[in-house]
Amino acid sequence: MNSRDTIVQRAVQEIKDGMYVNLGIGLPTLVANAISPDINVMLQSENGLLGIGPYPTEAEIDADLINAGKETVTANPGASFFDSAESFAMIRGGHIDVAILGGMEVSENGDLANWVIPGKMIKGMGGAMDLVVGAKRVVVIMEHVNKYGESKVKSSCSLPLTGKGVVDRLITDLAVFDFTPNGMELIELADGVTLEELKEKTEAKFNTTNFALI
C-alpha cells in the first residue's frame, strides 16, 4: 500500500453513517471510492451537488456531472442539484458534519495552508476558507513530508493561511494528530513507523500523552 492509499484508508474511518461530508480537491476526492456501500453518507460539493457517488467507469462518464475539482463523478439515487449560492449556504450554515481537506502545510497550532503557493497561477481560492469555519469538524489529509523531504507539519506555516486554528484532526502517511487546548497530540502511528522516525520528520512540537495510554 503506497502512502496515498494509507492516508485514504485511514481518512475513510472519519466518516460515519448519516453524515453530510464535503471532500476537498485532490487527495480527499479519493475517499469517495473507499466509503463502504453499507454506510449511508451524503457527499456535498460546493459547486452544487449533494449525493456524489464514486468516480464513474468509462461507460458512466457524463461530462456535465463534475465535482468542485472539475473531475467527472457519479450521482447516487436521490441526489440533488442546486446553485453554488445554496451550496455555500449549507456550508456557512453549519450543515456539513465533516470536511476532509488536503493540506500543503499544517502548524502545531492547527493552522492550515492549502489554497495557494506564492508565484503559482491559480483559478481562485475555492471553498476551503468557508469550509474550515463552516463545517462542524475539519480533517486534513496530506503526506507528511514534501518532495524535498521537508516536513509539512510545521511549527508555523510559511505559506498563506486558509484558516488559523481550524484543524481538528490531521492524518498523514506517518501518523494521526488531534489539536486540543493542550496543543498538538499524537493519536496514532502508521504501521511500521516508529516514534523516533516521526519526530525526525516533524518540525512541529507535539505531545505523546494520549498515545502513551494506548
In 3D space, the residue among 77, 212, 190 whose CA is nearest the CA of residue 143 turns out to be: 190
Quick one: pLDDT at residue 60? 93
Quick one: pLDDT at residue 90? 96
Quick one: pLDDT at residue 8? 96
Quick one: pLDDT at residue 168? 98
Quick one: pLDDT at residue 154? 98
Mean pLDDT for back-to-back runs of 10 residues, the chain (214 residues) = 91 97 93 92 94 91 88 92 94 97 97 86 77 97 96 97 97 97 96 96 94 58
Instruction: Tell me how far apart the terminal alpha carbons of the chain are, to the nearest angstrom.
Output: 24
Quick one: pLDDT at residue 214? 42
Quick one: pLDDT at residue 153? 98
Domains and CATH numbers, the chain: 3-212 (3.40.1080.10)
Q: Say which DSSP state 69 is in.
A: T
Quick one: pLDDT at residue 213? 52
Quick one: pLDDT at residue 173? 97
Alpha helices (runs of H) in 18-177, residue ranges in sequence order: 31-34, 84-92, 128-134
Catalytic-labelled residue, pool 46, 105, 150, 188 = 46
Give the integer Cα–Cα distance in Å for 81 and 200: 47
Burial class of residue 169 (count of CB atoms within 10 Å of its CB; 0-12, 13-18, 19+): buried
Quick one: pLDDT at residue 123? 65
Q: Quick check: is 58 catalytic?
A: no
Quick one: pLDDT at residue 67? 86
Quick one: pLDDT at residue 68? 81
DSSP-assigned states of every residue in 126-145: TTHHHHHHHSS-EEEE--SB
Quick one: pLDDT at residue 127? 86
Quick one: pLDDT at residue 54? 86
**Amino acid making up residue 13:** Q
